[in-house]
Amino acid sequence: MSDLATLAVTMNSLQTRNEVSLAAVKQNADFQRQVVAELFATMDAMPRPPEGMGQQIDQYA
């Protein structure tokens, strides 16, 4: 009987650990999405270069 109780406690502990791990992975993914969204927002807010800039290679630079 004690083996069954030990198994039940172990499984309950593993379930809790898995739930915590899943929550950490979800939080990390949400953070990464937020960082990428902020990066794109920053890139969109930057002024655009003049038309034609970067089209020719300066051999003397």
The domain segmentation of the chain, as residue ranges, is: 1-43
pLDDT tens-digit readout, 15-34 = 898 999 999 999 999 999 99
Torsion angle of alpha carbons 27, 30, 35, 37, nearest 10°? -170
Helix, strand or coil, per DSSP, at residue 51: coil
Helix, strand or coil, per DSSP, at residue 6: helix
pLDDT tens-digit readout, 36-45 = 999 999 999 9
pTM of whole model > 0.75? no
